[in-house]
């Protein structure tokens, strides 16, 4: 029996060792991309920029890059770009330049430059989804500048800059200041006859005497596959209140005695329902939110009088309602874009009525009546009573 066990262990060791060697050989033949960016030239050619994991590192484990006026940064990536007549042409030229096949299985995000986004990104989506090498759940982001600048930017926090972008995207999404949209989600929105696709926005921020940092905030608004404008971070959080996607964060507003108070968001949810009165539709938006008092100034003492907590909840309701109104105004008046999917909801609940108005939806939506109801629940005032000042 012992002899059998020993033989079995030797066979397993041999199998796993051989498998690892084969895997290593395969990796040596691949260029693993961490992020991909797409731009377009003035004459209609495509620019593909790839952030690729660096197989050649110095003894300390990373390449070192020095920029004028900034500290030395460690990086585990190299950046290549190519120009071609199509996305696939760019990929082929990049493979030739690298001498390796580009592997898309570990991409953190795809970023599209503003000029290409305004001309239409259907080609980018087609190239991403037609093949099998890039995951359909890969986040799609738009930048107000060039995608090339985002891909080539380094980080003082991460040796693989794409990892930092991925981390910021997830956090900002939970705060509601951007929206994490995958390539597949965006493409599905395109199939809707009423919805306007949206996705997150990334830019580079640089203050005096400091390094460039990634800034993920706001929303890119599309009509079909063409970019038509941007919502700022406050309008974006208003949209995410409606979508029930604000999970964390803070709300700062005036307190009851003209001091300031900050609420820490614990969680939120929403429910949207169309209502038909005669021949007119109203969208009913109900938002529920829970929070704690995080910080306050002034002379109020919530522990002394429970009615103060009720009045503060009303202040918080008003603050959330105002953010939602910002998003609704942007959608209806600035862009005329149904970013909330109201048309699909009416079609779902009132299919016969929808058939009568679907051809006029683009004219109906900008003037659609919307009612907002926010109910906040303030759980805790904190460990101290009145403010410290």
Picking from 88-92, 98-102, 331-335, 352-356, which range would have the lowest pLDDT averaged per residue? 98-102
Which of 231, 263, 281 lies at the terminal end of a domain, its last residue? 231
Confidence category of residue 4, pLDDT binned at 50, 70, 90: very low
Q: Is residue 16 part of a domain?
A: no
Confidence category of residue 28, pLDDT binned at 50, 70, 90: low
Please check whether residue 113 is in contact with residue 146, taking contact to mean a CB–CB distance below 8 angstroms.
yes
Q: Is residue 349 part of a domain?
A: yes
Please check whether residue 363 is in contact with residue 275, taking contact to mean a CB–CB distance below 8 angstroms.
no
Is 145 found in the same domain as 192?
Answer: yes
Is 245 found in the same domain as 227?
Answer: no
Q: Does residue 340 surpass a pLDDT of 90?
A: yes
Is 160 found in the same domain as 80?
Answer: yes
Q: Does residue 274 surpass a pLDDT of 70?
A: yes
Residue 381: predicted pLDDT: 67
Q: What is the mean pLDDT of residues 22-50?
A: 83
- Domain with 351 in it: what CATH number? 3.30.300.210
Residue 209: predicted pLDDT: 63
Residue 303: predicted pLDDT: 65
Supply 236's token pair.
């974006």
Residue 157: predicted pLDDT: 83
Rounded to whole angstroms, the Cα distance separating 265 from 374 reads: 14
State which residues form the domain around 302.
239-378
Q: Is residue 249 part of a domain?
A: yes
Q: Is residue 78 part of a domain?
A: yes
> Which pLDDT tens digit goes with each residue over 289-312?
999 988 888 777 776 777 888 888
Is 159 found in the same domain as 108?
Answer: yes
Residue 19: predicted pLDDT: 44
Residue 27: predicted pLDDT: 54
> Which pLDDT tens digit goes with each residue over 234-250?
999 999 999 999 999 99
Is 180 found in the same domain as 261?
Answer: no
Is 167 found in the same domain as 293?
Answer: no
Contacts 24+ apart (CB under 8 A), 66-73: 67/154, 67/211, 69/209, 70/211, 70/212, 71/156, 71/211, 73/154, 73/155, 73/156, 73/211
Residue 3: predicted pLDDT: 52
More confident residue, 131 or 220: 220
Is 223 found in the same domain as 76?
Answer: yes
Q: Using a pLDDT cut of 90, give the percent of the chain over it.
A: 65
Supply 23's token pair.
């895997």
Confidence category of residue 22, pLDDT binned at 50, 70, 90: very low
Q: What is the mean pLDDT of residues 120-136?
A: 88
Residue 193: predicted pLDDT: 84
Cα–chain-centroid distance for residue 188? Answer: 16
Rounded to whole angstroms, the Cα distance separating 199 from 185 reads: 9
Residue 94: predicted pLDDT: 92
Q: Is residue 8 part of a domain?
A: no
> Which pLDDT tens digit goes with each residue over 37-86?
999 999 999 999 999 998 765 444 444 344 433 444 556 899 999 999 99
Q: What is the mean pLDDT of residues 220-242?
A: 97
Which of 190, 210, 231 lies at the terminal end of a domain, its last residue? 231
Is 170 found in the same domain as 52?
Answer: yes
Is 291 found in the same domain as 223?
Answer: no
What does the mean pLDDT of the chain come to?
Answer: 86
For the chain, the domain total comes to 2
Residue 59: predicted pLDDT: 41
Other residues' Cβ atoms within 10 Å of the Cβ of residue 281: 22
Sign of CA dihedral 125, 244, 227, 106: negative
Is 308 found in the same domain as 194?
Answer: no
Rounded to whole angstroms, the Cα distance separating 381 from 385 reads: 7
- Strand 250-254's sheet: what is its strand order? 250-254, 260-277, 280-296, 369-378
Rounded to whole angstroms, the Cα distance separating 213 from 279 reads: 51
Which of 179, 212, 231 lies at the terminal end of a domain, its last residue? 231
Is 182 found in the same domain as 280?
Answer: no
Is 250 found in the same domain as 148?
Answer: no
Pick the closest to residue 237 from 263, 268, 260, 261 (CA basis): 268
Picking from 213-217, 227-231, 258-262, which range would have the lowest pLDDT averaged per residue? 258-262
Model-level pTM? 0.85
Please check whether residue 221 is in contact with residue 198, taking contact to mean a CB–CB distance below 8 angstroms.
yes
Q: Does residue 206 surpass a pLDDT of 60?
A: yes
Residues 6+ apart with CB under 8 A from 353: 276, 281, 346
């Amino acid at each position: 029996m012992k002899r059998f066990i020993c033989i079995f262990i030797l066979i397993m060791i041999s199998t796993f060792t051989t498998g690892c060697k084969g895997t290593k050989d395969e990796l040596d033949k691949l260029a693993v991309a961490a992020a991909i960016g797409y731009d377009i030239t003035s004459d209609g050619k495509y620019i593909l920029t790839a952030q690729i994991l660096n197989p050649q590192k110095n003894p300390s484990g990373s390449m070192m890059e020095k920029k004028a006026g900034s500290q030395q940064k460690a990086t585990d990536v190299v950046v290549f770009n190519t120009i071609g007549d199509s996305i696939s042409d760019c990929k082929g030229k990049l493979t030739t330049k690298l001498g390796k096949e580009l592997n898309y299985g570990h991409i953190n995000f795809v970023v599209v430059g503003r000029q290409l986004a305004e001309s239409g990104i259907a080609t980018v989506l087609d190239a991403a989804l037609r093949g099998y090498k890039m995951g359909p759940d890969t986040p799609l982001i738009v930048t107000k500048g060039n995608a090339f600048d985002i891909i080539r930017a380094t980080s003082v926090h991460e040796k693989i800059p794409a990892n930092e972008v991925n981390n910021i995207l997830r956090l900002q999404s939970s705060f509601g200041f951007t929206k994490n949209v995958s390539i597949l989600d965006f493409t599905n929105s395109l199939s809707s006859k009423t919805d306007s696709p949206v996705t997150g926005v990334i830019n580079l921020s640089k203050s005096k005497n400091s390094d460039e940092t990634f800034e993920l905030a706001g929303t890119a608004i599309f009509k079909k596959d063409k970019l038509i404008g941007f919502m700022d971070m406050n309008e974006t959080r208003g949209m995410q209140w409606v979508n029930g996607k604000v999970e964390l964060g803070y709300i700062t507003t005036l307190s009851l005695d003209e001091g300031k108070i900050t609420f820490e968001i614990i969680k939120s949810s929403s429910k949207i329902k169309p209502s038909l009165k005669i021949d007119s539709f109203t969208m009913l938006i109900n938002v529920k939110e829970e929070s704690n008092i995080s910080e306050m100034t002034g002379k109020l003492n919530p522990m002394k009088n429970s009615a103060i907590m009720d009045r503060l909840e009303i202040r918080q309701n008003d603050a959330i309602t105002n953010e939602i109104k910002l998003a609704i105004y942007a959608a209806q008046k600035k862009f005329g874009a149904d970013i909330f999917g109201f048309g699909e909801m009416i079609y779902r609940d009132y299919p016969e009525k929808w058939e009568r108005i679907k051809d006029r939806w683009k004219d109906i939506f900008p003037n659609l009546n919307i009612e907002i109801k926010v109910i906040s629940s303030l759980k805790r005032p904190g460990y101290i009573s009145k403010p410290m000042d």
